[in-house]
Chains A and B, each alone.
Chain A
């Protein structure tokens, strides 16, 4: 007999964070190495499912094969019982990885026994990414991960956001690190940090330092890898890392996620970048402080102290011989006492091999005191630098806000500020305060780290202003490359900034990249001669972007970014490694199953200055809507029992019909089904797709059918869930026979 019930609404206890779903979506990852017929664990970490078809976000250092983590097979273990350790279920492969920012996206590809997995058959619990730029100071966060090497069940730690760390990355993404006071064990690295809306805001990240580099190693031996029947220091040890206080914001994962979920791959067939490899010991030098940075990532001014109440401070330094596998760390002490709030635990290096970098803290007040900053590279300390906070506002002479350009007829620098075209002369303009005429001031120009011009003079421009220019002129022409300007007063550095010379001159602006265009072809060679196209048919497998370039010196850092529908999926800043001038630099965008419909755009930048941008449309020019993208909602679960035996019935089908249809409208068509589940041997079922909430403005009413041969079916219309509905919603259903 078919029974219908009236619309129901539940009013139960309210819940904020959906801890059950988050726990199920948090996985334990074991990187393993094949030794004979055995799989030996080489590295472990936590991870988070970002899609129902098995995309996992985790750290790159524990999953991408490296010297520290040499395994090649990734095993994914899942929590099936929150009171027990995770159980290995799948194998995964790396879909996307950025070793520098230490994030990787894995894709589940095989069952544990090696059988291929059809991603469309997976219905795994997943979490949604939040915009990490919306995270506020003192916001409560919950961290989930596995605290030990597979021994313990999933663990959660609560804390608050205590600060934001800024580094020279894409400014659109927000701070490079979040800081928290939560005590996060090292193996929880790669797990998830959630806001109160159960959205992923960050990934706890730390990189273990390998013993081979000379630094302190945190690792444990758990297996007899050398087969001497003893597990001791002679065996391979699994790195565990130290306690984490750095959280990589989730915005850094968005490009990787977008590329992985759409299956997009970007490759340059023209040699563009040499692999970043270390030729010497990583070193830091020329440490100095600034109170602010400009959009080009340059210090506004060089300071030696800060007044009380300051809420931003940046430590600048030059670096050499750094690689993406280098682990760097910043330790800050306040009056000799370690200060974890402003320190940065060991993390992977995300800059280039050589250049200038900064680590800054903003948005939070700095307590008064004497601060000492010490940088570590692979566990080896560099000379430290001190700063006093809490002094009276300085009256010392100040140079600040250096910008560069070409002087016009009125003597005003013109240009974009930090990228100049090749020519004979380059001019800099800066602000000055508190100067006195007669003070000795020195200007030093560098090219690629080598001093090329120095001039000392007596100051005669008055005490304060913003129109002082200084220029460098070379009759033979200024070579393309990376330049630096340092301004000293009485032999003390007061301001510095880097700029780049590249490209032909067009007015005051450089023409570095030109003829940026799109095309499609059957091969790379054909693409070089194909006509430019801006509209492509849907399903095209490969898209080419080509451009010409002019006067770019080797090691000039240039940025290539790809977007689809306005969201970045590729962002790489690498040194130029090609001839100085040429044409038809080729970038290939491909997807195995065909490029999804959308509007694709390419940006070319130097020093974060946008120099070229172009756009092309594939298909209808818009990505298809993913109806499974929502992770929030009520999880429906339960048990189906036999009324005769009160035992679970295996193989019963539970169907949740889409809100557009009722039971009487249901014609047994898959298109009408919201989701369905089949009970296991205990009679337990789970509807993997969360039910959407009914709100004041939107009513979402589902229908359901429970059907099994030999039993009377049960049906219901008007099933609604609200924010007060228990989540997960556990049902107990009895089926009767006639």
Chain B
């Protein structure tokens, strides 16, 4: 037996069939919006830090490792990052009435050039306006990060960093951001959000 098919182009869709499609699209859009919000909630989740002794508070990304025992007020690092661990650090330094931010910048440069491999200062817009309107000095630089463990074979990483330096209430506040140079642009948003919450 031979079968002959006859199909018509564009059969008429019923009301329900059309609205099945429309509602499906609406649901998908809603789900995507919810998904983006979930993403933001996860990626941009923060934890608060407050140091009343030096008068600094900030919100830093959740699940970043915080360290308060070094020669800084606090330092947070993204330990889940594969490769160089993106770092945000806030330090304070005693200054005198004659100390300018340039002095602090020079001191940082001299110290870092002695301890960081292939340290180079980069040209940058020297003025940086903090979210609270304070005018700070921005310094940009790169260096090569090497694992200190001599028993491991680690390929050095080119790190790009910036320091935001301002003098306030008799102390210099130095905000440092360090990340792998290849992901600097993408990671800078994290630093921007951190700066928005930093108060001192």
Chain A residues near B (Cβ < 8 Å): 24, 78, 80, 87, 89-90, 111, 113, 115-118, 120-124, 649-653, 655, 668-671, 673, 676-682, 684-686, 688, 707-710, 713
Q: How many Å from the CB of A431 to the closest CB on chain B?
A: 61
Q: Which residues of the other chain, B, contact A679 by a CB distance below 8 angstroms?
A: 152
Q: Are A78 and B150 in contact (CB under 8 A)?
A: yes
* B114 contacts the other chain (CB 8 A): yes
**B82 and A709 within 8 A (CB):** yes
A contact residues around B153 at 8 Å (CB): 680-682, 684
Chain B minimum-CB-distance residue to A673: B65
- Whether A670 lies near B69 (C-beta < 8 A) is yes
Whether the Cβ atoms of A680 and B152 lie closer than 8 Å is yes
| B residues less than 8 Å from A78 (CB atoms) | 150-151
Which residues of chain A come closer than 8 Å to B115, judged between CB atoms? 115-118
Q: Does B37 contact A (CB under 8 A)?
A: no
Q: Are A121 and B148 also in contact (CB < 8 A) when A650-B155, A668-B65, A680-B154 are?
A: yes
Chain B residues near A709: list those with CB within 8 A: 80-82
Task: Tell me if B66 counts as interface (CB < 8 A to partner A).
Answer: yes
Further 9 A-B residue pairs, CB within 8 A, beyond A80-B151, A90-B150, A685-B152: A78-B150, A115-B117, A120-B70, A122-B148, A652-B82, A669-B65, A673-B65, A678-B154, A709-B81
Contact with A along B146-185 (1 / 0, CB 8 A): 0111111111000000000000000000000000000000
**Knowing A123-B148, A650-B154 touch, does A655 contact B79 (C-beta < 8 A)?**
yes
Contact with A along B67-110 (1 / 0, CB 8 A): 11110000000011111110000000000000000000000000
Can you report 22 A-B residue pairs in the complex whose CB atoms are below 8 A from each other?
A24-B151, A89-B150, A121-B148, A122-B148, A649-B82, A651-B82, A651-B83, A652-B82, A653-B79, A653-B80, A668-B65, A668-B79, A670-B65, A670-B67, A671-B69, A678-B85, A680-B149, A681-B153, A681-B154, A684-B152, A684-B153, A709-B82
- Bound Cα distance A630, B65 (Å): 25
Q: Whole-angstrom distance from the CB of A140 to the nearest CB of chain B? A: 28
Residues of A within 8 A of B152 (CB): 679-680, 684-686
Query: How near does chain B come to A575, taking the closest CB pair, in angstroms?
Result: 42
User: Once the chains bind, are A668 and B64 in contact (CB under 8 Å)?
Assistant: yes
- A713 to B85 Cα, complex, angstroms: 17
With an 8 A cutoff between CB atoms, is B50 at the interface? no
Q: Within 8 Å CB of B81, what residues of A? A: 651, 709
Q: Judge whether B33 is part of the interface by a CB distance below 8 angstroms.
A: no
B116 an interface residue at 8 Å Cβ cutoff?
yes
Q: In the complex, are the beta carbons of B65 and A710 less than 8 A apart?
A: no
Check if B82 sits within 8 Å of A650, measured CB to CB.
yes
In whole Å, how far is B197's beta carbon from the nearest beta carbon of chain A?
18
**Chain A to chain B: the 7 pairs with minimum beta-carbon distance, closest first:** A680-B152, A670-B67, A651-B82, A651-B83, A680-B154, A653-B79, A116-B114
Residues in B whose Cβ lies below 8 Å from that of A713:
80
A-side contacts of B147, CB under 8 Å: 678, 680
Q: Are the CB atoms of B82 and A708 closer together than 8 Å?
A: yes
Return chain B residues, CB-CB under 8 Å to A87: 150
In the complex, B57 has a CB within 8 A of chain A: no
| A413, B82: Cα distance in complex, Å | 80
Across the interface, name the chain B residue whose C-beta is closest to A682: B153
Residue of A nearest to B66 (CB): A669
Size category of the binding interface on chain B: 20 to 34
Residues of B within 8 A of A686 (CB): 149, 151-152
- Cα A680 to Cα B154 in complex, Å, equals 5
Minimum distance in angstroms from A646 CB to a CB of chain B: 17
- Chain A's closest residue to B114 (CB) is A116
Chain B nearest CB, measured from A553 CB (Å): 50
C-alpha gap A395/B187 in the complex (Å)? 93
Residues of B within 8 A of A678 (CB): 85, 147, 154
A118 contacts across to B, CB distance below 8 A: 115
B65 partner residues in chain A, CB cutoff 8 A: 668-670, 673
Minimum CB–CB distance for A187 against chain B, Å: 21
User: Are B84 and A651 touching (Cβ within 8 A)?
Assistant: yes
Distance A445 CA – B135 CA, assembled complex (angstroms): 85
Across the two chains, which residue of chain B brings its CB closest to A685?
A: B152
B126 at the A interface (CB under 8 A): no
A122 CA / B149 CA spacing, docked (Å): 7
Name the contact of A707 in the complex, choosing from B69, B79, B83, B155 (C-beta under 8 A).
Answer: B79
Residue of B nearest to A684 (CB): B152
Bound together, the chains give a CA A192 to CA B67 distance in angstroms of: 36
Q: How far is the CA of A688 from the CA of B147 in the complex (A)?
A: 13
Does A670 lie within 8 Å of B83, measured CB to CB? no
Bound-state Cα–Cα, A121 to B153, Å? 17
| Complex Cα gap A120–B148 (Å) | 11
Question: B192 an interface residue at 8 Å Cβ cutoff?
Answer: no
A680 to B64, CA, bound (A): 21
B63: CB under 8 A from chain A? yes
CA distance A119 to B30 in the complex (A): 55
What is the minimal beta-carbon distance from B62 to any residue of chain A, in angstroms? 8
Say how far B40's CB is from chain A's closest CB, in angstroms: 17
Q: Which of A24, A118, A649, A678 has the most CB of B within 10 A?
A: A678
A80 to B151, CA, bound (A): 5
A122 to B85, CA, bound (A): 18
Chain A residues contacting B69 (CB-CB under 8 Å) are 670-671
Q: Distance (Å) between the CB of B159 and the closest chain A CB?
A: 13
Are A710 and B155 touching (Cβ within 8 A)?
no
Question: Which residues in B have their C-beta under 8 angstroms from that of A650?
Answer: 82-83, 154-155
Residue of A nearest to B70 (CB): A120
Closest CB-CB distance, A75 to chain B, in whole Å? 13
Which of B64, B66, B150 neighbours the largest number of chain A CB atoms within 10 Å of its CB?
B150
User: Which of B84, B85, B148 neighbours the largest number of chain A CB atoms within 10 Å of its CB?
Assistant: B148
A649 to B68, CA, bound (A): 29
User: What chain A residues lie within 8 Å of B79 (beta carbons)?
Assistant: 653, 655, 668, 676, 707
Which residue of A is nearest B75, CB measured? A670
CA distance A713 to B82 in the complex (A): 13
A670-B65, A670-B68, A670-B69 known; A707 vs B154 contact (CB < 8 Å): no
Chain B residue nearest to A121 in the complex (CB): B148
In the complex, which residues of chain A have a beta carbon less than 8 angstroms from the beta carbon of B154?
650, 678, 680-681
Query: CA–CA, A678 to B157, complex, Å?
Result: 13
Q: List the B side residues contacting A710 at CB < 8 Å.
A: 82
**Which of chain A's residues has its CB closest to B76's CB?**
A668
* CA gap between A709 and B77 in the complex, in Å: 13
8 Å CB contact of A668 from B66, B83, B114, B150: B66
